[in-house]
Structure 1
């Protein structure tokens, strides 16, 4: 139906401009207009006949797209950077849609990162209760002992936040170099989560890579390469996240 109405923040998110959460902030800040009038009330409903502008730019409905990128180290998980550093969207220059990363990987962390222009999908996967496995492999300075592994699973308080791992396993050690390769599974991803956790235990991380996100992996890709997710993969991710937040 042409006049079917939807919440304004949802319409903005579906357009690919930003996530729904950030859309709500833009509305509250008075940066959104509907039919020429500034709207600051969350929950305002609009139809396809209404003209919506964000920061003075009219919305254009985009088809949703979903990509998997092998993010290299030394790249910002953002669509732009005020210091002019390389950002993840620089690796998808031929993509016409305005995609953004789902969550983030730290500047010095490489690995699997999802990008989309579907704000609802992004919010669903980033829901704090989603419990989607994110598998990392870390190279640590020092070899964590059993007590350290236990503490990682129990949780460590850093800067007022509890940081914990859902699963930890030492894959290999090098006694001469005093290093270890550690597999770490997270269900949530706070800022510098693994690095802060390991620093607190005095086993600083030298290298960190996200190898898996749910059932997705990096097979067939080199750093800087990407592929489009299949419709089946998108549906499976959505179903997995929805099941976890019920």
Structure 2
């Protein structure tokens, strides 16, 4: 038997955390009985689980990597009619993004229907490193870059230490290219970190997620993750959790 929230997540309905909210909010039934207890266990493929009156179907898990262009929302829908990341896929699976990239940020984004997998990668304790390349205004001093490395105090707390590399500076245009690696996933975090040191981001791209790169992909293109890549991501997150 498995926990109810895990079964819902693995069915591609939502992440495990969101599944827990669905249960507490009284939106889940098991064999016709309303369930609000998070400790409830069910037998997959035997017990009838419904969310908002709709039976969940355990889909075959799928895993994709997308080169998200700028001007696209990291969501499955948008009330303003803007393009969303799932628009790049044409199949029956209920995909959702693993984390998010801002509307104005391009780069590597994972999508899946496996809520358990998504939750494992998104949770801060698993410390999956993300590498970004930022074009910023001005030429940051070594001292300011060191502030990013040590952690910056933002309105939602101090950031974890980051790895920072000065790539190039253009004194004529007054811009610089900086590489920064972080393992957190706060809203607009990289942009806010550079704003905090007085060098706003003009352009931002996520180049790497863990060991995955954008090699072979153009903006708007996607590919299926290979089985060994999915396995490596799981192993990487477990290894980081135990550090």
Residue equivalent to 1:150: 146
Structure 1 distance, partners of 2:29, 2:127, is 36
Partner of 1:119: 115
Unaligned 5+ residue runs, structure 2?
A: none
TM-score, length of structure 1 as denominator length: 0.95
1:33 aligns with 2:29: yes
1:46 is the counterpart of 2:46 = no
Q: Does 1:7 align with 2:3?
A: yes
Matched residues in 1 for 2:2 and 2:126: separation?
25
Structure 2 equivalent of residue 132 of structure 1: 128
Q: TM-score, normalised by structure 2?
A: 0.96
Aligned residues of 1:167 and 1:186 also touching (Cα < 8 A): yes
CA RMSD of aligned residues (A): 1.0
2:151–2:162 contact (8 Å) kept in structure 1: no
**Contact conserved, 1:65 with 1:116, CA < 8 A, in 2?**
yes
- Equivalent positions of 1:1-246 (< 5 A) are 5-47=1-43, 48-92=45-89, 94-246=90-242
Post-superposition shift, 1:164? 4.4
**What stretches of structure 1 of length at least 5 have no aligned partner?**
none
SS in 2 for 1:195: helix
> How many pairs are equivalent?
241
Change (3 A) 1:160 1:16: closer
The offset of 1:127, in angstroms, is 2.1
Looking at structure 1, the residues matched to 160 and 5 of structure 2 have their Cα atoms a distance apart, in angstroms, of 32
Is 2:162–2:181's contact at 8 Å kept on the other side of the alignment? yes
Aligned residues of 1:35 and 1:50 also touching (Cα < 8 A) = yes
CA distance in 2, matches of 1:242, 1:74: 33
CA distance in 2, matches of 1:242, 1:133: 13
